[in-house]
C-alpha cells in the first residue's frame, strides 16, 4: 500500500472559478499513472517539459493521459510510468473564449485647440474585445515570467498606449474637436488596428474596439448644448418635418403626444394664415374697384342698345352708330 499511496491518480482540469483569466497553470508538476485530463469547451491544454511546449490539445473531452496524451508529445512520447516514477511536466490551460472589457482613460488628455493655450482636456470611455489568438506565442512570451495572464493584464497594456493612440487618431479622423462623437467609429477603427498589431506580438487578438463617449469639461458641455439648441431653432421647417414624421409614426396619421400637438398647432397656424391672406386679397380687390377714376367710361353692353349713348340717335342693330360712328356694343 505504501508504494501505491504516492501514485494516486490525478485529475488534471481547470474549473475557471475566476472570470477574466486567459492563462492558468495547473498547480501540480507531477502527473501520476492513471491520471485523467479534462478539457472543457473554450479551453486548450498545453503540456510543457523543461520549459518547452510538448503538445497542445484543443478538443474538449476527457482523456487518459497515458494512452491519449503521452503518445502525442514531442520528446516524451516513449515515457513509461513506473511504480514510483510520475511524469514531471507542467500543464497550462488557455481560455480561448472572447472577452469583453470596459476601458477608460486614466486622466484627461489635452488635445490641441485653437484659442486654448493649455489644450482641450477630454476623457474617453468604451469597450474592447480580445481573445487568445496563439497559445504557443503567448506561452513562449510568458514562459519563466508569469504563470498566469488575465484580461486585466491586457487592459493594462492597452491603457498604457491608449493616450498616444487617441491623440494620433483624433488628429487624423476628428473633424470637429467639439463633436468628436460623430467620428468615433473611424477613430476607434484606427486605434483597434494599432492595438491588434501590438497585442499580436504576445498572441492576443483585439477583435473589437468601441468608443462609447467623449467627456468634455462642464463649460464645454454647456456651450455644446446651447449651440445644439440654437441650431435646431434656426431651422423651423426641419423641426416641423421632424414633428410631422414623429406624429404620423406614433399616432397612425391622427397624431398623439407632444409631436402631434405641435403638428396640429402648426397646421392651424398655416390655415389661419391662409384665411387672413384670402381676406386681405378680397379687401384689396374691393378697394381697387372703389378707387377707380370717377370719369372713366362705363363698360360697353353685350347687345346693341336702342339709342346711341353718345348722340341719342336710334340704332338699327349695327355695331356702330350711323350718325356719329361710336361703337355701340362689344
| Over residues 283-308, mean pLDDT | 59
| Between 157 and 254, residue with greater pLDDT | 157
Q: Using 50, 70 and 90 to split pLDDT, how confident is the model at 3? A: very low
Q: Using 50, 70 and 90 to split pLDDT, how confident is the model at 136? A: very high
pLDDT recorded at residue 201:
95
pLDDT in tens, 191-243: 999 999 999 999 999 999 999 999 888 776 676 566 666 655 555 555 556 55
pLDDT recorded at residue 250:
60
Is there a domain that residue 302 lies in?
A: no
Q: Using 50, 70 and 90 to split pLDDT, how confident is the model at 165? A: very high
Would you state the cell numbers that stand for residue 182, as one nine-digit string?
460623430
Together in a domain, 26 and 63: yes
Is there a domain that residue 288 lies in?
A: no
The answer to which of 7-11, 100-104, 158-162, 275-279 has the lowest mean pLDDT is: 275-279
3-state secondary structure of 186: helix
| Over residues 254-262, mean pLDDT | 50
pLDDT in tens, 42-74: 999 999 998 899 999 999 999 999 999 999 898
Average pLDDT of the chain is 80
Q: Are 330 and 302 in contact (CB under 8 A)?
A: yes
Residue where a domain stops, chosen among 173, 203, 223: 223
Together in a domain, 78 and 183: no
Together in a domain, 75 and 126: no
Contacts 24+ apart (CB under 8 A), 323-329: 327/300, 328/300, 328/304, 329/300, 329/301, 329/302, 329/303, 329/304, 329/305
Together in a domain, 81 and 107: no
pLDDT recorded at residue 23:
95
Together in a domain, 160 and 200: yes
Q: Is the pLDDT of residue 16 over 50?
A: yes
Together in a domain, 82 and 116: no
Residue 128's beta-bridge partner residues?
101, 209
Together in a domain, 103 and 219: yes
Q: Is the pLDDT of residue 252 over 60?
A: no
Is there a domain that residue 82 lies in?
A: yes
| Over residues 162-170, mean pLDDT | 94
3-state secondary structure of 183: helix
Residue where a domain stops, chosen among 223, 238, 258: 223
Q: Is the pLDDT of residue 21 over 90?
A: yes
The helix (run of H) or strand (run of E) holding residue 37 is strand 36-39
Measured CA to CA, the distance from residue 248 to residue 239 in angstroms comes to: 14
3-state secondary structure of 207: strand
Together in a domain, 218 and 130: yes
Domain containing 150 equals 99-223
pLDDT recorded at residue 177:
84
Together in a domain, 47 and 103: no
Q: How many Cα atoms sit within 13 Å of 304 on the Cβ side?
A: 14
In this prediction, what percent of the chain has a pLDDT beyond 70?
Answer: 69
Q: Using 50, 70 and 90 to split pLDDT, how confident is the model at 254? A: very low
Is there a domain that residue 230 lies in?
A: no
CATH code at position 126: 3.30.479.30
Q: Is the pLDDT of residue 260 over 60?
A: no
Sign of the CA dihedral with 12 first, then 17, 23, and 25 last: negative
Q: Are 3 and 26 in contact (CB under 8 A)?
A: no
Domain count, the chain: 2
Is there a domain that residue 309 lies in?
A: no
| Angle CA 116–120–122, to nearest 5 | 170
Is there a domain that residue 20 lies in?
A: yes
The full DSSP string for 92-156 is EEEE-S-EEEEEE-SS-EEEEETTEEEEEEEEEEEEEEEEES-HHHHHHHHTTT-SEEEHHHHHH
Residue 111's beta-bridge partner residues?
120
Residue where a domain stops, chosen among 223, 252, 279: 223
Our CA dihedral for 7, 12, 17, 20, rounded to 10 degrees, sits at 140
Together in a domain, 83 and 153: no
Is there a domain that residue 18 lies in?
A: yes
Cell 355695331 belongs to which residue? 319
Together in a domain, 28 and 144: no
Residue 163: partners with Cβ closer than 8 Å, 6 or more residues away = 105, 106, 109
pLDDT recorded at residue 182:
94
Together in a domain, 113 and 197: yes
3-state secondary structure of 179: coil
pLDDT recorded at residue 30:
87
pLDDT recorded at residue 4:
40
Would you state the cell numbers that stand for residue 89, as one nine-digit string?
511536466
pLDDT recorded at residue 51:
85
| Over residues 177-198, mean pLDDT | 95
Is there a domain that residue 34 lies in?
A: yes
pLDDT recorded at residue 235:
55
Residue count of the chain = 330
Measured CA to CA, the distance from residue 192 to residue 186 in angstroms comes to: 10
Amino acid at each position: 500500500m505504501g508504494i501505491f499511496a504516492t501514485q494516486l491518480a490525478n485529475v488534471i482540469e481547470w474549473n475557471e472559478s475566476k472570470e477574466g483569466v486567459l492563462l492558468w497553470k495547473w498547480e501540480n508538476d507531477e502527473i501520476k499513472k492513471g491520471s485523467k485530463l479534462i478539457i472543457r469547451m473554450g479551453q486548450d491544454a498545453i503540456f510543457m517539459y523543461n520549459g518547452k511546449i510538448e503538445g497542445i490539445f484543443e478538443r474538449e473531452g476527457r482523456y487518459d493521459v497515458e494512452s491519449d496524451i503521452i503518445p502525442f508529445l514531442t520528446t516524451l512520447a516513449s515515457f513509461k510510468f513506473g511504480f514510483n516514477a510520475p511524469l514531471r511536466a507542467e500543464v497550462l490551460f488557455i481560455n480561448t473564449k472572447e472577452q469583453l472589457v470596459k476601458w477608460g482613460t486614466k486622466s484627461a488628455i489635452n488635445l490641441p485647440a485653437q484659442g486654448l493655450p493649455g489644450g482641450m482636456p477630454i476623457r474617453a470611455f468604451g469597450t474592447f474585445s480580445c481573445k487568445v489568438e496563439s497559445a504557443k506565442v503567448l506561452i513562449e512570451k510568458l514562459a519563466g515570467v508569469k504563470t498566469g495572464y488575465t484580461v486585466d493584464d491586457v487592459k493594462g497594456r492597452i491603457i498604457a498606449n491608449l493616450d498616444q493612440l487617441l491623440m494620433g487618431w483624433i488628429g487624423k479622423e476628428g473633424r470637429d474637436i467639439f463633436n468628436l462623437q460623430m467620428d468615433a467609429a473611424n477613430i476607434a477603427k484606427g486605434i483597434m488596428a494599432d492595438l491588434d498589431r501590438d497585442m499580436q506580438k504576445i498572441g492576443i487578438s483585439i477583435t473589437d474596439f468601441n468608443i462609447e463617449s467623449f467627456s468634455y469639461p462642464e463649460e464645454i458641455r454647456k456651450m455644446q448644448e446651447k449651440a445644439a439648441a440654437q441650431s435646431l431653432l434656426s431651422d423651423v421647417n426641419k423641426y416641423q418635418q421632424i414633428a410631422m414624421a414623429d406624429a404620423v409614426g406614433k399616432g397612425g396619421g391622427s397624431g398623439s403626444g407632444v409631436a402631434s400637438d405641435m403638428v396640429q398647432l402648426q397646421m392651424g397656424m398655416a390655415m389661419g394664415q391662409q384665411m387672413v391672406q384670402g381676406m386681405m386679397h378680397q379687401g384689396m380687390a374691393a378697394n381697387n374697384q372703389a378707387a377707380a377714376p370717377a370719369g372713366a367710361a362705363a363698360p360697353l353692353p353685350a347687345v346693341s342698345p336702342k339709342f346711341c349713348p353718345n348722340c341719342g340717335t336710334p340704332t338699327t342693330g349695327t355695331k356702330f352708330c350711323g350718325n356719329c360712328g361710336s361703337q355701340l356694343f362689344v
